[in-house]
Amino acid sequence: MTSERRVLVHHDLPALVGAVAARFITKMIDLLEEKPEVHIVLTGGGAGTGILTAINESDARDQVDWARVHIWWGDERWVAHDHADRNERHAREALLDHVALAPAHIHPFPAPGETADLETAADAHAATLKASASDGANVPVFDITFLGIGPDGHIASIFPESVGARVTDRSVIAVRNAPKPPPERLSLTFAAINGSDRIWLALSGVDKASALGLALAGAAPFEVPAAGVRGRRRTVFFVDSAAAAEVPAELISREY
């Protein structure tokens, strides 16, 4: 299977989230014509939540058969389900509570109090992923995985030069002492993320330009985790003009 990698530049953040939301709805309609269910991985952050809000506000939102959609997350903060820091809460408020998703198809990471500790939570979520997979795989095939990129190049909660950046034999890791608060988190690993058919990375702002440039230049994933993600079919970087400041012109809107 040939994997494509592309960079699509938009004028600003509102243009970016609107374009990605429209693209997502169109792709979802197509996917649901081809298969009985689809699996989507969500991300947090301003761009990620903005895209979900734009999907919710779209006139085409209900053309998606949401009852056949499974929702997962790339990472989560180790806080209560209704905590203001929780990616799950932001996603529910922006989109999930407004569409006809089957409750059993929403698969949040565990929260404190549901397992003995953070490591047990990672094991429990790995088991949930495996139970939803087929053919002995550890994770289902994610049709679309959304990711953001931090100014330091981190994706999900895989941070530069962290233990998690070297894990190859697990689908979920417990993260302690994250360099940004809150320090305790749960995250998918590269192995799980790169099992996705399509990875869509959305980022905006000049503070992301260096990380994006390094990722596209082939930096070591241990140093710039964004360089280590690659969808099985394609990987698309949706960026605004500020974040694209260090992207060579020949890489924009082209496969490479």
pLDDT digits 0-9 by tens, 95-125: 999 999 999 999 999 999 999 999 999 999 9
> Binning pLDDT at 50, 70 and 90, where does residue 256 land?
very low
Mean pLDDT confidence for 65-81: 98
Task: Please give the pLDDT value at position 135.
Answer: 83
CATH number of 4-239: 3.40.50.1360
Q: How far apart are CA 224 and CA 143, in angstroms?
A: 24
> Binning pLDDT at 50, 70 and 90, where does residue 2 land?
low
Task: Please give the pLDDT value at position 119.
Answer: 98
pLDDT digits 0-9 by tens, 222-249: 999 999 999 999 999 999 999 998 887 7
Tell whether the model's pLDDT for residue 253 goes beyond 70: no
Tell whether the model's pLDDT for residue 70 goes beyond 80: yes
